[in-house]
Amino acid sequence: MSIGNKTFAIIKPDAVAAGNAGAILSLIEQNGFKVKGLRLQHLTLKEAEGFYAVHKGKGFFDELVAFMTEAPVVLLALEKENAVQAWRDLMGATNPEKAADGTVRKLYGTNIGRNASHGSDSDENAAIELAWFFRGSEIA
């Protein structure tokens, strides 16, 4: 499995708390992704701050880490051809109001902050993010 075929995804606290994790997983599988790693985890502040370090200094950073730590998330390693772009396409635009019909964020997001899902933005970051959350032995 080459890295170009893998991406890292999070079903965010809003979607898990609302009981939408199963529906989102179904959508993922229906769209041809294979789930290669999966864990429910309640992120600590340190984990969320470290994961989103690239956004440190932005106006929404504190709101983002507070949101990401308010309830458990589902961490996912996904496999598909061109996985990074394919998952970003299925998630839709960052702002659910601008996301296309049928996308995860349109269906399950609330606003630009509480938008139901995360996806890596490049193969390089997918590798970094997968390694941040999964040991090699935890990915099938």
If binding means CB under 6 A, how many residues of this protein chain bind ligand ADP? Answer: 10
Identity of the residue, 77 or 91, whose beta carbon is nearer to ligand ADP in the bound complex: 91
Is residue 42 part of the annotated active site? The answer reads: no
Q: Is 106 in the site for ligand ADP (CB under 6 A)?
A: no
Q: What is the 3-state secondary structure (H, E, C) of the chain?
A: CCHHHEEEEEECHHHHHCCCHHHHHHHHHHCCCEEEEEEEECCCHHHHHHHCHHHCCCCCHHHHHHHHCCCCEEEEEEECCCHHHHHHHHHCCCCHHHCCCCCHHHHHCCCCCCCCEEECCCHHHHHHHHHHHCCHHHCC
Min separation Cβ 91 and ligand ADP, Å: 7
Chain residue whose CB lies nearest Mg ion: 121
**Scanning residues 36 to 95, which ones bind ligand ADP (CB under 6 A)?**
55, 60, 63-64, 94
| Enzyme catalytic residues | 118
Q: Which residues are at the interface with ligand ADP (CB under 6 A)?
A: 55, 60, 63-64, 94, 112-113, 115, 118, 121
Q: Which residues are at the interface with Mg ion (CB under 5 A)?
A: 121
